């Protein structure tokens, strides 16, 4: 039995090393077989994350664009409510020639003293300075040429009939000598016959200007007055009144820079709305998707499971190697005990032979251990 123990130890070590080698080969094969599935799973997970990222970016961009458009509309609307535009009014005048001094009235004030506005009338806002001009279309008749100079008077009346401003301007037709008139008629004969041109003159007169204040202005009254010593009135084809208001300088600056105010007001409103959304309505900008881990396992958990399996496999390999070394040490102690017991019973020759066999078996065992460790 003592002679067979080295061979039994060698056989057991060889069988253990063979089994470990087979397990290592199986582990390597399983790793290589699982590698494609892991690569496919990782690629799918990466593509899914990229897709979710693109969809999220598009969604956030859409929300920000909608907020920006809303901020732009609010900014432009608020600035439009703040900005005042100058008033421009033009209307025809009709003089009453039944009077000795024909008069024409232009009503423009829609405001009353209490600040209310009458429906259908547009007035000049407070603080505006308005300018009044008259345009007269007069024929180049002999009557108008003989009348020569005449007077135009404009009065601004309040709602209670008081005169707030008054202006009077003289006017007349531009003089043309008789030869020039004949030459002009000869050159423009065809247009005159076809009605393309007319023998008329348009006269524009700046009458008055007034700054709107309380009491509010309501009516402009224009009067035709003949020259002193005469009673003849001029002939008119048309008469028009033109009213243009001018803004105060502060409001004029705001109006001239209205596009700058549009931009800055829209930016401020946009930033304010983003702060409100991020503070109070964060799910609207960053929607949260709740995932049930029991139905949809995460890729991180899968990777962690794979790493734990690899760690357990390495631990099993280390335990196997330590178990082989422990068994080898136990067998070595048993052989030493057997050899010592044989020396006490057998002769010196038998002991020397057993020692030689023990050394040989130990050398073989050590070589097998090294081979098994290299395989593992």
Which residues 6+ apart lie within 8 Å of 253 measured at CB? Answer: none
Which residues 6+ apart lie within 8 Å of 144 measured at CB? Answer: 138, 173, 234, 235
**Residue keyed to tokens 């524009």:** 204
Mean pLDDT of the chain: 76
Helix (H) or strand (E) holding 90: strand 88-92
CA distances from 321 to 6, 104, 362 (A): 20, 122, 18
Query: Euclidean distance between the first and final Cα of the chain, in Å?
Result: 31
| Tens-digit pLDDT profile for residues 72-96 | 999 999 999 988 889 889 999 999 9
Rounded to 5 degrees, what are φ and ψ at 64?
-65, -35
Checking if the pLDDT of 290 tops 60, the result is no
Which residues 6+ apart lie within 8 Å of 167 measured at CB? Answer: 153, 154, 155, 207, 208
pLDDT grade for 215, boundaries at 50, 70 and 90: confident
List domains and CATH numbers for the chain: 5-64+286-375 (no CATH), 88-246 (2.60.120)
| Tens-digit pLDDT profile for residues 22-67 | 676 666 666 556 656 666 777 888 888 888 888 888 888 898 899 9
* pTM for the model: 0.54
Count the neighbouring beta carbons within 10 Å of the beta carbon of residue 369.
17
Helix (H) or strand (E) holding 135: strand 129-139
Calpha distance 140→173 (Å, rounded) = 8
CA-closest candidate to residue 171, choices 226, 92, 210: 226
pLDDT grade for 3, boundaries at 50, 70 and 90: low
CA distances from 232 to 175, 228, 241, 320 (A): 19, 10, 23, 136
Calpha distance 353→357 (Å, rounded) = 6
Calpha distance 84→371 (Å, rounded) = 99
């Amino acid at each position: 039995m003592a002679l067979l123990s080295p061979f039994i130890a060698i056989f057991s070590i060889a069988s253990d090393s063979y089994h470990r080698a087979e397990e290592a080969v199986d582990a390597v094969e399983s790793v290589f077989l699982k590698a494609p599935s892991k690569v496919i799973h990782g690629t799918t997970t990466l593509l899914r994350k990229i897709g979710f990222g693109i969809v999220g970016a598009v969604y956030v961009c859409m929300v920000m664009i909608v907020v920006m458009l809303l901020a732009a509309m609010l900014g432009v609307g608020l600035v439009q409510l703040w900005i005042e535009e100058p008033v421009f009014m033009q209307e025809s005048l009709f003089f009453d020639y039944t009077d000795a001094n024909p008069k024409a009235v232009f009503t423009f004030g829609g405001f009353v003293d209490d600040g209310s506005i009458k429906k259908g009338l547009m007035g000049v806002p407070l603080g505006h300075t308005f300018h009044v001009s008259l345009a007269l279309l007069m024929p180049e008749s002999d009557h108008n040429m003989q009348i020569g100079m005449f007077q135009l008077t404009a009065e601004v009346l309040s709602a209670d009939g008081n005169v707030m401003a008054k202006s009077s301007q003289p006017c007349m037709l531009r003089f043309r000598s008789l030869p020039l008139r004949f030459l002009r008629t000869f050159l423009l004969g065809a247009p005159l016959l076809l009605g393309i041109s007319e023998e008329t003159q348009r006269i524009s007169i700046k009458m008055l200007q007034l700054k709107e204040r309380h009491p509010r202005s309501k009516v402009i009254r224009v009067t035709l007055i003949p020259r002193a010593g005469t009673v003849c009135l001029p002939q008119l084809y048309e008469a028009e009144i033109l009213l243009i208001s001018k803004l105060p300088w502060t409001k004029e600056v705001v109006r001239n820079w209205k596009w700058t105010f549009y931009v800055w007001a829209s930016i401020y409103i946009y930033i304010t709305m983003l702060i409100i959304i991020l503070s109070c309505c964060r799910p609207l900008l960053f929607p949260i998707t709740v995932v049930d881990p029991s139905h949809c396992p995460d890729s991180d958990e899968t990777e962690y499971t794979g790493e734990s399996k690899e760690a357990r496999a390495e631990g099993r390999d280390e335990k196997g190697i330590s178990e082989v070394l422990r068994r080898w040490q136990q067998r070595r102690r048993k052989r030493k005990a057997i050899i010592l017991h044989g020396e006490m019973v057998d002769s010196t020759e038998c002991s020397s032979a057993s020692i030689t066999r023990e050394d040989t078996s130990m050398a073989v065992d050590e070589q097998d251990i090294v081979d098994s460790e290299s395989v593992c």
